[in-house]
Every structure is written in C-alpha cells, then in structure tokens.
Amino acid sequence: MGEELLTINHLHTAFKRGTEYFDAVDDVSLKIHKDEILAIVGESGCGKTTLAKSIIGLHDLKRTKITGNIKFQDQELVGASPEKFDQLRGSDMGMIFQDPLAALNPLMRVEDQVREVLDYHTDYSATKKHKIVLKLLDQVGLENPERVARQFPHELSGGMRQRIIIAIAIACKPELIIADEPTTALDVTIQAQILDLLRSIQAQNHAGIILITHDLGVVADTADEVVVMYAGQVVERGTVFQIFNHPLHPYTRSLLKSIPQAEHEGDRLYAIEGAVPSLAKMPHDGCRFAPRIPWIPESAHEKTPTMHEPEEGHYVLCTCYQTFKFENGEAV
C-alpha cells in the first residue's frame, strides 16, 4: 500500500435549513493512500457528494457547517481558506464530475479549456503548454489530439467530453483525484472504457482516486477499497474482496443483490424497499437502516450503533449484520 494521502476523522457536514443545521455527512472517518482507488458507494441522498465537496472546499460556508478533520498531505482542510482551496484544486487535487457537458464551457475550444488549468498553476511557455495539452489528450485516449484540441464541446461525443474532463483533472498531475459519478451519464461500453482509463491514470501517476458511485457494479473491478455510505454515515468499509465476497451490513447485502446479473436476465430486479430519509427526517438514535429491514428484530440492532471489526480491516456499523433472513434458500 502507498503512503497515506488523505485522512478524514469524525467529519460532520451540516446544511442550514431555516435556523437549524442538519448533518448530511455524520461522523465519517476514512483514509486513502497513494496508488489506491477508494470507492464510495450508496444510493442517491446518502451524502457522497457532500463528502466530496467537503474535501475539495466547494461548500457555501454561509450555509454549511463543517467540523472534524480532513488531513491532506500535511495540511488540515477543515477551516482552510478559499485561497488555499484555489491553490489545491487543479494542482494537488483533480476533480471529475458526472456531467461533462455542464463542466465544460460550450464557447471555448478544447485546447483553451485544458490549458486554463496550466495557465493558473504553472508559468510554462505557450509552446510547452501546447505540447502538454496534446500529450494529455493523447494520454486520455483521444485519437488525433491536434484536431480535438481545435474542437468545441458540442462537436464531441459524451465519452470524448468525459475524456477531456479527465485530461483537465490530471493536467497538473494531482496526488488525489475525486471522480463523482464519472460514468453515470455514459452508456455501458463507454463507462467501461472510462473506468479503464481511470485505472491506467492511477497506475501511471500513482495518484489516489476517490470514485463516487451509486452503482456497486462499477466498483467490482475498479476499486481497491470500498466505503459504503447510508444516510450520511459509513455503514461498512473494507477491501473490494471483503465487500463483494463477504458483505456484512444488510445495506451492503441489499445493494449487491440489486446489481443486475447476466445469468438472471429477465428476472425481476431486486429493489431495496423504502427510501433514504431526507435530512430533516433523519433519525438520530438507533440504526438508520432499520426501517428498511423490518425483518430484523429491534433487539438485533444497537441502540447507539458502533463500528465493529469482525475481520481485519473490515468494518461494519451496528450489530444487525449478524442477522440474516432466508429467501428461496438464500441468506439475505
């Protein structure tokens, strides 16, 4: 494992609604190392994007309260100044978001958009920047970089646009890349290519990558470590092998069951009953997943759930992971 890159301890990110603050990220702790892809998974509304934005300093601090610690390299990011984040974003930290069209400027040619980040963070000559832009476009798998550099975003396919976003994100060789649903807007074949690209960038640049997704299917052969979030909390974390081969928390078990399987094509897809509670309705006591697994008796949950480590490096919140129900002879 590479050296530690980012360590988050007891992070709370709360949004102001009226006069009250509500935690969208509630006591999250995790670590990412260099050379590692850490996937953060969970349904929509579990707090994944809120967590990512806390790391890269994109919250409006007039309406958001962040407490706890985010240590990146040797710097504390909770409470860091906007200038500090401006300096980190694009240089030490790269970002890739879901919708490449929204992230690109429709009126600027590709070359100008990729070069912008070099203009901001380096004092290279124009010729050197031009060379770097072409090299980056080639590195992200775009054929004919000279031509692509002259094009506008609307002239490119969705997959090509996402490659441009990745080129911008890696332009300054960041130590940490945060990719928030980088493949959600793309079709399945392109999805696989973009994930391959992220993996090869990680291998070449030795970066740490945080891959945020609601889809456990994309995690299986991309990630090294997995963090499962539910209702603002980490409910399970472990290596990709542990999470896929020995999932513990009933939420993780349900997420895995809801991945479409080729051999069950045509069967009804498993869906987790109920929905993630909204911030205002978030229960503060007990296991937050309990209302969605009524078959697990109350006595199986902890009143105040704690993190357990039933096997080395594999963590799970609440004792309810020890209870299973059997459906068609299968434990769920």
Which residues of this chain interact with ligand ATP, rule CB under 6 A? Answer: 15, 24, 42, 44-50, 214, 278-279
Q: How far is the CB of 279 from ligand ATP (least distance, A)?
A: 5
Q: How far is the CB of 144 from ligand ATP (least distance, A)?
A: 34
Q: How far is the CB of 61 from ligand ATP (least distance, A)?
A: 11
Residue 48 or 163 with smaller CB distance to ligand ATP = 48
Residue 49 or 139 with smaller CB distance to ligand ATP = 49
Q: Which DSSP symbol is given to 268?
A: P
- Positive or negative, the CA dihedral 111, 113, 117, 119 is positive
Residues 6+ apart with CB under 8 A from 230: 42, 43, 46, 249, 251, 276, 288, 289
Q: How far is the CB of 214 from ligand ATP (least distance, A)?
A: 5
d(CA 310, CA 88): 37
Q: How far is the CB of 44 from ligand ATP (least distance, A)?
A: 3
Q: Which DSSP symbol is given to 243?
A: H
Residue 203 or 275 with smaller CB distance to ligand ATP = 275
d(CA 88, CA 85): 5
- Per-residue tokens: 39: 């996937």
Residue 16 or 150 with smaller CB distance to ligand ATP = 16
d(CA 104, CA 111): 12
Closest by CA position to 201, among listed 165, 153, 151: 165
d(CA 332, CA 329): 9
Residue 280 or 331 with smaller CB distance to ligand ATP = 280
Q: How far is the CB of 301 from ligand ATP (least distance, A)?
A: 22
- Per-residue tokens: 299: 């006595």
Side chain identity, residue 178: I
Residue 15 or 152 with smaller CB distance to ligand ATP = 15
d(CA 206, CA 274): 40
